[in-house]
Amino acid sequence: MWITIQKFAEREEHLQCDSAIVVVMSHGVFDHLLGIDEMPVNFHSFVSCLNSKNAPKLIGKPKIFIVQACRGENYDEGVEHISEECVDGPLFSPLFSIFSKYIKPNNNNNNSNPLNASSIFRNAPSPNSQNYFNESQEKRFQKRLKIEKVPTFADILIASATTSNNVSWRNSATGTW
């Protein structure tokens, strides 16, 4: 597991990607995960493999970790809860109705929305044209480039099946909790 995440951190494809999503389904204890070799991997070190220092091609891009593993030995006994079954559909109708004024049907292939991509970029120069950058624009652009510090642990989201110190429960009919 350790070697795999380190190799993943170095992948050239990250330059063309918008995010990285890592899903771990394993066994674990408080702050360690167990790989198929049963060697414990510190979870914090595992996540650090994709931080700004160790994976510079992912700077400014979301790094999402979804972890299905125990995080301790305590058992969550759960609580009883009576809920109504919800059918998909009407539940979201009020939410989407507030957007209806922005959604216009396109009945005759004429775009009634005056703000579209072709109107915005119609007069923009192509990157291949000679007028895209003239020399003075290029010099001003280069002067604006500067080295800046970015947080080492930024844009990282960790979703865990359970909280610290607890085992992760699985129910084959309803999922994990």
Expressed as residue numbers, the domain containing 30 is 1-7+19-74+150-177
59: CATH: 3.40.50.1460
Active-site residue, from 14, 17, 27, 81 = 27
- For residue 115, tell me if it sits in a domain: no
- For residue 79, tell me if it sits in a domain: no
Is 27 catalytic? The answer is yes
Predicted local distance difference test score (pLDDT) of residue 173 = 74
- For residue 143, tell me if it sits in a domain: no
- For residue 140, tell me if it sits in a domain: no
Exposed e or buried b per residue across 121-141, where buried means at least 16 C-beta atoms within 10 angstroms of its C-beta = eeeeeeeeeeeeeeeeeeeee
- For residue 25, tell me if it sits in a domain: yes
Q: How many domains does the chain have?
A: 1
Active-site residue, from 14, 44, 49, 70 = 70
Predicted local distance difference test score (pLDDT) of residue 89 = 38
Strand order in the sheet with 40-42: 27-29, 32-34, 40-42
Predicted local distance difference test score (pLDDT) of residue 132 = 52
- For residue 38, tell me if it sits in a domain: yes
From first to last of its 177 residues, the chain has per-residue pLDDT tens of 999 999 999 999 999 999 999 999 999 988 999 988 888 999 999 999 999 999 999 999 999 999 999 998 898 887 887 766 544 433 344 444 444 444 444 444 444 444 444 444 455 555 555 555 555 666 666 666 778 889 999 999 999 998 889 998 777 777 665
pTM: 0.62
- For residue 14, tell me if it sits in a domain: no
- For residue 109, tell me if it sits in a domain: no
